[in-house]
Amino acid sequence: MKEFKGLSGARGQALLPALVLSRAAIVPEKRETADPEGEIARFEAIRAAYAAELDALKEKTAKENGEEASAIMKAYAVIARDNFFFKKPMKQVKNEGVAADWAVAAERDKVCAKFAAMEDPYMKARADDIRNVCDELIRRLNGVSSAVEVQGDGPVILMAEDLTPEDTIRIDKSKLGGFITERGGVTSHAVILAKTLGIPAVVGCEGILSAARSGEQIYLNGDEGWAAVEPDGEMAARFAAADEAQKAMAERYAQAAAMPAVTRDGHRVQVCVNSGDSESARAFRPDRCDGIGLFRTEFLFMGQQDYPSEEFQYQAYRAVAEAAAGKEVIIRTLDIGGDKQLGYMDLPKESNPFLGYRAIRLCLDRKEIFLTQLRAILRASAHGNLKIMFPMIVTMEELREAKTLTAQAMAELDARGLPHAEHVPLGIMVETPAAVLLSDKLAKEAEFFSIGTNDLIQYTTATDRQNERVQYLYTPCNLSVLRAIHTVIRNGHKAGIPVGMCGEAASDERLLPLLLAMGLDEFSVVPAQAGKVKYMVQQADYAALSGLPDALWEQETVEDACRLLDQYAIR
């Protein structure tokens, strides 16, 4: 038995056979081929088959997982079919008689080095796409493939160095019981997918891949962030006990999900879900929550060759409005920039992208993009209960201008004779210290607030949410963050508007009693967490929590705050 330490990606435990995804890149040797023409024909047949496979996958994905996912397959197929790209290495095979795998690898390295040297993160990401396609072709030239095929009925623990978006699409999710990756942070593709599917994950588990083989038993502890290969009997017994408790809790959460989120003494809150990718959209159950508290629209814009049209966006927003069956859907306008880039936008390079040209700043500057999106959302408002939310607001001017442009978009629809809801509530994300400190004023002109703790923690504590070295500072239990949250809730309520939270902290069990006591109206969480949050609300005694905020302000350190919150934990 061998244990490997990592980071907790998604909570829960599993003891299952491993499926080790071998993506070890093959490093081809420079060899000569006796039959260059035959070698080229072999390569072209492999390339055509791979491109056709990607096409089929694209179709399947578009049907099952939506446009974002299929766009990645489409991009891979475009690369696989790029005759211009593959002309050079094939010329080398013909003229110099080298093997195709070596020639493709050499061209891949040359082109990827050029892309990787570009500062634009989108272009850097394109280098990854080219590398992924070339690596798969090289593997196939050597008679292996990395396609993730789960043999048998599963479930398995999928183990990989990291997971590409292609992997997360290809995998048959019904056969997955957990993820372990050697690389990647707590916001990696694997973790997001694990949370959405409600299965455990450990990331940053260095060294485990070389110690495990497919089929071997793996114990994965997502609560504590470690895993063991071929666990001994004692560990297996420990897991069996934890598993039983886990299943009992899952059963309780499922029951809780079917009931409204009301505390034992009758205090009602809303528990909504976050959506913004195909997995969470499919996991959305309007009968298990109070609506969608955050619909991230970026995914409609990512993986496209150009801006999505008003009609394309309208169909997407209309589909979500209809799926919600009359329940609220908060559509957030485009939050691009920062770590999310779009190649076709041609954005200038910035030294501090998270402090730069992103979200509402970009939308107010490129008004046509914003107006197109607003018209699409407003048209969809005729089919459901939609609200619009603006991200990254730091001034009153931004809110006013966003509202003016929404009114303009509505007038444009009227001129075209297109229907929309008579009134669409307009709110803001409170995710910057500026918005917190201005929240008394903003609350008079916004119709609702939603606290975006993912960014609010980052900006309040000056801690990059993606930088692993400073993650110890990135915590909602910092008293400055908790004070900010309390300020926003109080200012919202003073002005008579509802205050929700759509950052990850909304499903943090340590914070839940405090957020209830502070009067948070809406918790918006990934779908797999909605049952747990409802359960904790239903177990809480609202009146008994009333002294918690004052007791918290007596504390001095993060540790003190955590200790106090622990005393109020609902288990």
Q: At residue 556, what is the residue type?
A: E
480 binds, among Mg ion, ligand PEP, none (CB under 5 to 8 A by kind): none
- Least separation in angstroms between residue 439's CB and ligand PEP is 15
- Least separation in angstroms between residue 518's CB and ligand PEP is 17
- Of 165 and 452, nearer to Mg ion (C-beta) is 452
Contacts of 211 (CB under 8 A, 6+ apart): 2, 4, 229
The yes-or-no answer on residue 383 being catalytic is no
- Of 107 and 455, nearer to ligand PEP (C-beta) is 455
Q: How close are the terminal C-alpha atoms of the chain, in Å?
A: 32
502 binds, among ligand PEP, Mg ion, none (CB under 5 to 8 A by kind): ligand PEP
454 binds ligand PEP (CB under 6 A): yes
- Of 132 and 461, nearer to ligand PEP (C-beta) is 461
| Whole-angstrom distance, CA of residue 530 vs CA of residue 334 | 25
453 binds, among Mg ion, ligand PEP, none (CB under 5 to 8 A by kind): ligand PEP
453 binds ligand PEP (CB under 6 A): yes
Give 157's strand partners.
Answer: 18, 178
428 binds, among ligand PEP, Mg ion, none (CB under 5 to 8 A by kind): none
* 3-state DSSP percent of the chain in helix, strand and coil, to 5: 55, 15, 30
Instruction: Look at residue 198 and give its three-state secondary structure.
Output: coil
- Least separation in angstroms between residue 37's CB and ligand PEP is 52
Size of the site for ligand PEP (CB under 6 A): 10
- Of 107 and 431, nearer to ligand PEP (C-beta) is 431
- Of 453 and 529, nearer to ligand PEP (C-beta) is 453
- Of 447 and 455, nearer to Mg ion (C-beta) is 455
**Tokens 């002109």 sit at which residue?**
445
- How many CB atoms within 10 Å of residue 490? 17
* 59, 294 Cβ separation under 8 angstroms: no
Span 295-324, contacts to ligand PEP by CB under 6 A: 296
E strand residue ranges, 6-135: 7-10, 13-20
- Of 13 and 450, nearer to Mg ion (C-beta) is 450
310 binds, among ligand PEP, Mg ion, none (CB under 5 to 8 A by kind): none
Query: Buried (b) or exposed (e) across 332-350, using 16+ Cβ within 10 A?
Result: bbbbbbbebbbbebebeee
- Least separation in angstroms between residue 372's CB and ligand PEP is 21
187 binds ligand PEP (CB under 6 A): no
Span 324-383, contacts to ligand PEP by CB under 6 A: 335
Sign of CA dihedral 231, 235, 236, 242: negative
Scanning 199-207, 278-286, 453-461, 507-515 for contacts with ligand PEP by CB under 6 A, the matching segment is 453-461
503 binds, among Mg ion, ligand PEP, none (CB under 5 to 8 A by kind): ligand PEP
Chain positions contacting Mg ion, by CB under 5 A: 431, 452, 455
Span 31-60, contacts to ligand PEP by CB under 6 A: none
- Least separation in angstroms between residue 274's CB and ligand PEP is 7
Of 189, 383, 420, 486, which is the active-site residue? 189
Of 205, 363, 477, 502, which is the active-site residue? 502
290 binds ligand PEP (CB under 6 A): no
- Least separation in angstroms between residue 484's CB and ligand PEP is 12
| Whole-angstrom distance, CA of residue 301 vs CA of residue 315 | 14
- Least separation in angstroms between residue 198's CB and ligand PEP is 19
DSSP 243-289: HHHHHHHHHHHHHHHTS--B-TTS-B-EEEEEE-SHHHHHH--GGGS
Q: Write 349-357 long-range contacts (CB < 8 A, 24+).
A: 349/119, 349/120, 353/121, 354/458, 354/464
Instruction: Look at residue 392 and give its three-state secondary structure.
Output: coil
- Of 316 and 359, nearer to Mg ion (C-beta) is 359
431 binds ligand PEP (CB under 6 A): yes
| Whole-angstrom distance, CA of residue 119 vs CA of residue 348 | 9
427 binds ligand PEP (CB under 6 A): no
Of 363, 443, 371, 348, the C-alpha closest to 398 is 363
Scanning 210-218, 240-248, 447-455, 483-491 for contacts with ligand PEP by CB under 6 A, the matching segment is 447-455
- Of 155 and 503, nearer to ligand PEP (C-beta) is 503
DSSP 284-348: --GGGSSEEEEEE-HHHHTT-SSPPPHHHHHHHHHHHHHHTTTSEEEEEPP--BTTB--GGG-PP
Length of the chain: 571
- Of 358 and 383, nearer to Mg ion (C-beta) is 358
The yes-or-no answer on residue 189 being catalytic is yes
- Least separation in angstroms between residue 506's CB and ligand PEP is 9
Which residue has the closest beta carbon to Mg ion?
455
Scanning 128-136, 155-163, 321-329, 452-460 for contacts with ligand PEP by CB under 6 A, the matching segment is 452-460
Which tokens is 86 given?
């593959």
Scanning 125-133, 241-249, 448-456, 546-554 for contacts with ligand PEP by CB under 6 A, the matching segment is 448-456
- Least separation in angstroms between residue 455's CB and ligand PEP is 3
- Least separation in angstroms between residue 485's CB and ligand PEP is 12
- How open is the CA angle 14-20-26, to the nearest 5 degrees? 160
Dmax (CA) for the chain in angstroms is 83
Span 489-548, contacts to ligand PEP by CB under 6 A: 502-503
E strand residue ranges, 416-536: 426-430, 449-451, 499-501, 522-525
Please give the distance of CA 395 from its chain centroid, rounded to a whole number: 27
| Whole-angstrom distance, CA of residue 304 vs CA of residue 506 | 31
Residues lying near ligand PEP in the complex (CB under 6 A): 294, 296, 335, 431, 452-455, 502-503
Active site residues: 189, 502
